[in-house]
Amino acid sequence: MAADHSHATLAHDAEGNVSPPEHTHPDWGTYKWVALILTVLTGMEVWIYYIPSFTKTNLFVPTLLILSAVKFTIVVMFYMHLKYDAKLFRALFVGPLTFAAFTIVGLLFLFGHLKISF
Amino acid sequence: MATTVSLPATPHREPSHRYESGVWSWLATTDHKRIGQLYLYTSLFWFLVGGIEAAIIRTQLYGPNQHLVTAQTYNELFTMHGTTMIFLVVMPLSAAFFNFLIPLQIGARDVAFPRLNAFSYWIFLFGGLFINFSWLLHAAPNGGWFGYAPLTTRPFSPGLNIDFWVLGLQILGLSSLAAGFNFITTIINMRAPGMHFMRMPIFSWMAFITQFMIVLAFPIFTVALTFLMLDRFFGTNFYEIQAGADPLLWQHLFWLFGHPEVYILILPAFGLVSEVVPVFSRKPLFGYPVMVYSGILIAFLGFGVWAHHMFAVGMGPIADSFFSITTMLIAIPTGVKIFNWLGTMWGGSLRFTTAMKFAIALVALFTIGGISGVMHSSPPSDLQQTDSYFIVAHFHYVLFGGSLMGLFAGLYFYYPKITGRLMNEKIGSWHFWLTAIGMNLTFFPMHFLGLDGMPRRISSYDAGQGWESNNHLASYGAALIVIGTVFFVYNWFASMRKGAVAGNDPWGGATLEWAIPSPPPDYNFATIPQVTSRYPLWDRKSPQMTSEVPHGTRDEQKMEVKIAGKTTGTAPAPADTKLNAPNAHPSAKQLGINMPTPTIRPLLAAFFLGCVFVGLIAHRNLPIMFISAALFVLSLYSWLLTPLEPEHH
Amino acid sequence: MATAAIDAHDAHMGGEHPPTSTGLNNTKVAIWTFIGSECFFFASLISTYLIYRGRSPVGPFPHDAWTDPATGHVFKAILNIPVTSVSTFVLLMSSLAMVLAHSAVVRGDRRSSKIWLASTAILGATFLGFQAYEFTSFVHEGLTIHTNLFGSSFFILTGFHGAHVTAGVIWLLTLLFIDIKRGFSPDEAINVDVCALYWHFVDVVWIAIFTLVYLIK
């Protein structure tokens, strides 16, 4: 997936920067599917919000978190084409994202919103 | 180097030619070397200011119950001393090196975004002036450099003091963030061909890691400050105890930033030492890969130790244990570096230039600071030490004995590259010894003061508690530091006129910056070098140095600098002893190198952005704020829509 | 020596600049770094909101009704899930429009690029319209930044998000203007690409906010 940068005849853009040979970019079909899945998942999230018996269970929050994580991931992978782009961009994003997630969890614990029992 | 090259067919003269000399050339510069020098001189100025603040503090605390300054002024002094030294001295001095050195070390012509680079400097200048303007209004920040809310909320700090602090730091934060994005992109994308990451000079590596810490930690600080700003100016409730706010929110957010910040303060100095020690040991850095990985690990772990500043607030045993363990762990990669520097010197051919003395001082003094640091990592023992002078001793050993010593090492080492002349080694020696002895005399007794119960941030103390003699010593030490600094300032400016001409490589350096003239031409490298090793110059000139020989002195093939005691530093003078002689090297135009056009737009953008904050502190003057914001956006558009370089013909 | 430099320069791939070390565009590297940094910015804002969840001593509250003991006034639960679901959908669709805009520029399809850039801006502005409506109706119903911890943390979190959307809309309109005036050629697609990355990031932040603030009770 990483571009072959040593190729002698790489294209130059207006700034003289080399751009990697065009990767497979998602096409209109893929974009449409992503949009459709986003709509469906959002609909699902709102739907389960209105089921009182479900919202009272312990599954409510994890389900919502998983659904939104999926939405997050497909936007990032396909719309921001992280799936198709250089690994460096993935590192630049996933690194801080992971750190930030851990920080949120850590803070929630420190302020007593999460209980840890041994 | 006669230049008989025919110029390209009539290049059209850019209208910016008025920016090519004099004051305008500095105001409109996009040259990383000039921007580096701007940072350097500005931070040296603030160093003197922060030093005066410290001198007043130490005079006040010399003896019991003194009244040189009121308690209120004392609060302002220690707050501004800390804020100045951290944000206006150590960080920008490091930035001076990032700017000047990174492109030279990686073999680039400039940074990735030269105008953004200029913007970073101007906004930094504005921020420093903004926050210090408060002195003129007798309203300097007075809540400590860490500004704990709710003390700093309006009900408890009604004046302008904290307003200056909050807004000034917001402005300064923007500078660091912008520079962070710039240098990360530069190091990732603008290394010379053949310079793989593991061939990059260690200073550039440490700088690279530091930039990541900056871009991740500063946003947290921005949020913490924004909450305080909103509370103070717009009546939100983030830190309002009356509204149910948690007094620990500020502390957690601040230290989530504040702890990585101290690693931001030390890693560049570590990088400089890692450049200096190998050159003056005539030996490659011991364990280069480990130095890189330990730096990365420090940055990583540095985000996981923050609450060790909060062991006294009652977070509970789980939190206390967790942070205690991570804090102890971080001592490991840090300690590893100490051993690697020692390993570099072992068996090397040591030359005790001033730069080397400062570098060795860092190794010794930071170790002391690190030891007291590890003592703080245990919550029970920290409960005794926290908020006492023991902590003051610790952080001054790591910040003064660590960061500042490392930065001085860098200043002496790179002065020839920046100015083309050598600093006087004898005077340098005086500076070194006065500073080193003075620093230890000031801060070592503070360990005892802390254990004897002297709290931090008190403007005076009663007699008869056993604190007098150590305070006397500390104040004497401060006097020595002041004298040493005078030597330094004199040396700096006198050497610019009288120092021996340095030539490209007065020290026998290993890395690319020593291959080009001193000072370098604006384009740095006439041709971008092809790099084949970690020590390009040693491979070329002294190949035996990079072969694996563990012991023995090495042939001094190029003893170009004599140590103080014989003659002060001399280098074989180039045929032309005047610096910057005409036609000393070809111009960028003659070489056909397209350099960025100087432009005043970054300065304007920085100025207008700063004015927004001025409007806010001037009693929420909305017209000023909106007009400034509009002008900022306009200047930004003008900047972004102007090409960086003239059209290439 | 200078002549050698010029010869080397001329032989040098014909461009003014050496190619980047990774082959990747500088601005793209910078924008991803910026996005990484913004993760921490929004994480701090979100953390504060979550820390203060359930801690306001007085209402109004997001999901529960509250009676003011002093006045007896009954405040209903302030968040309006149906309306926000629509605005969320609008923002998600704006990401689709954005991706189509970039795709059009890459293809050199001048007509579609303008249509999709405009659509993205319009959808973004619509989202902002919804936010403005939401904010003003909340204020009307008794929730301001001064009211309680919920008011402060909610308005500042969503307010900063809205400010980011606003900046994005201005950016899009600027790109649209340039596209209309002189058009983007395919090798200028990076300009739209960088805006798109920013835009999608602002969208995913909203995905997080919608779940954590609106849906989780």
Per-residue pLDDT of B385-414, as tens digits, reads: 999 999 999 999 999 999 999 999 999 999
Mean pLDDT over residues B423-431, rounded? 97
Give the closest-approach CA distance of C157 to chain B in angstroms: 10
User: What is the SS3 string spanning B249-293?
Assistant: HHHHHHHHHHHHHHHHHHHHHHHHHHHHHHHHHCCCCCCHHHHHH
Task: Give the pLDDT band (50/70/90) at residue A118.
Answer: low
Q: What is the pLDDT of residue C17?
A: 58
**In terms of CA atoms, which chain A residue is nearest residue C54?**
A113
Q: What is the pLDDT of residue B570?
A: 34
Per the CB < 8 A criterion, the answer to whether B476 and B441 are in contact is yes
Please indicate if any CB of chain B lies within 8 Å of the CB of C151: yes
The pLDDT tens digits of the residues spanning B224-243 come to 999 999 999 999 999 999 99
Task: Give the pLDDT band (50/70/90) at residue B556.
Answer: very low
Per the CB < 8 A criterion, the answer to whether B419 and B495 are in contact is yes
Query: Strand, coil or helix: what is C74?
Result: strand
**In terms of CA atoms, which chain B residue is nearest residue A102?**
B304
Buried residues in B105-131 as b, exposed as e (16+ CB within 10 A) = bbbbbbbbbbbbbbbbbbbbbbbbebb
Measured CA angle at C182 (ends C176, C188), to 5 deg: 75
CA B7/CA B374 separation, integer angstroms: 63
Mean pLDDT over residues B150-168, rounded? 97
- Given a cut of 50, is residue B566 above it in pLDDT? no
Per the CB < 8 A criterion, the answer to whether B267 and B296 are in contact is no
Residue B152: name the closest of B238, B217, B86 by CA. Answer: B238
Q: Which chain B residues touch A99 with a CB distance below 8 Å?
A: 216, 303
- Given a cut of 60, is residue B5 above it in pLDDT? no
Residues above pLDDT 90, as percent of chain B: 83
Q: From the CB of residue B426, how many other CB atoms can be counted at a distance below 10 Å?
A: 17
- Given a cut of 80, is residue B79 above it in pLDDT? yes
CA C142 to chain centre: 27
C36-215: CATH architecture? Up-down Bundle (1.20)
Polymer length of chain A: 118
Residue B102: name the closest of B30, B172, B184, B173 by CA. Answer: B184
Q: Which chain B residues touch C153 with a CB distance below 8 Å?
A: 238
Local structure of residue C75 (DSSP, 8 states): E
Q: What is the pLDDT of residue B565?
A: 31
Phi, psi of B312 (to 5 degrees): -90, 0
Q: What is the pLDDT of residue B648?
A: 54
The pLDDT tens digits of the residues spanning A4-61 come to 333 334 444 444 444 444 456 678 888 999 999 999 999 999 999 999 898 889 899 9
Catalytic residue list of B:
81, 110, 145, 175-176, 259, 261, 263, 274, 308-309, 334, 337, 456
**Mean pLDDT for all residues in chain A:** 82
Local structure of residue B455 (DSSP, 8 states): B
Q: Who contacts C175 (Cβ-Cβ below 8 Å, separation ≥6)?
A: C117, C184, C191, C192, C195
Interface test with B, best of C10, C16, C32, C44 (most B CBs within 10 A): C44
Q: What is the pLDDT of residue C78?
A: 95
Size of interface B-C (CB pairs under 8 A): 134
The pLDDT tens digits of the residues spanning B323-378 come to 999 999 999 999 999 999 999 999 999 999 999 999 999 999 999 999 999 999 99
CA B547 to chain centre: 34
Please indicate if any CB of chain B lies within 8 Å of the CB of A46: no
Q: What is the pLDDT of residue B1?
A: 37
CA B157/CA B162 separation, integer angstroms: 7
Mean pLDDT over residues A60-86, rounded? 93
Mean pLDDT over residues B247-261, rounded? 97
Please indicate if any CB of chain A lies within 8 Å of the CB of B318: yes
The pLDDT tens digits of the residues spanning B447-495 come to 999 999 999 999 999 999 999 999 999 999 999 999 999 999 999 999 9
CA C120/CA B595 separation, integer angstroms: 37
**Mean pLDDT for all residues in chain B:** 90
The pLDDT tens digits of the residues spanning B529-543 come to 899 889 988 877 666
Q: What is the pLDDT of residue A23?
A: 55
Give the closest-approach CA distance of C87 to chain A in angstroms: 11
Q: From the CB of residue B75, how many other CB atoms can be counted at a distance below 10 Å?
A: 19
Residue C159: name the closest of C35, C13, C48 by CA. Answer: C48
Give the closest-approach CA distance of A11 to chain C in angstroms: 9
CA B587/CA B464 separation, integer angstroms: 70
DSSP string, B437-450: HHHHHHHHHHHHHH
Size of interface A-B (CB pairs under 8 A): 17
- Given a cut of 80, is residue B12 above it in pLDDT? no
Q: Which chain A residues touch C41 with a CB distance below 8 Å?
A: none
Chains contacting B (3+ CB pairs below 8 angstroms):
A, C
Task: Give the pLDDT band (50/70/90) at residue B17.
Answer: low
Please indicate if any CB of chain A lies within 8 Å of the CB of B315: yes
Q: Which chain B residues touch A103 with a CB distance below 8 Å?
A: 256, 303
Torsion angle of alpha carbons B284, B285, B287, B290, nearest 10°?
A: -140
Mean pLDDT over residues B536-557, rounded? 53
Chains contacting A (3+ CB pairs below 8 angstroms):
B, C
Residue ranges of chain C with per-residue pLDDT less than 70: 1-18
- Given a cut of 70, is residue B421 above it in pLDDT? yes
- Nearest by CB to residue A99, choosing from B248, B303, B307, is B303
- Cβ under 8 Å to C: B residues 230-269: 230, 234-238, 243-246, 249, 253, 256
Helices C110-141 + C81-107 axis angle, to 10: 160
Q: The tokens of C174 are what?
A: 């600027």
Per the CB < 8 Å rule, is A107 touching B252? yes
Q: What is the pLDDT of residue B543?
A: 65
- Given a cut of 60, is residue B575 above it in pLDDT? no
Please indicate if any CB of chain B lies within 8 Å of the CB of A31: no
ipTM above 0.90, yes or no: yes
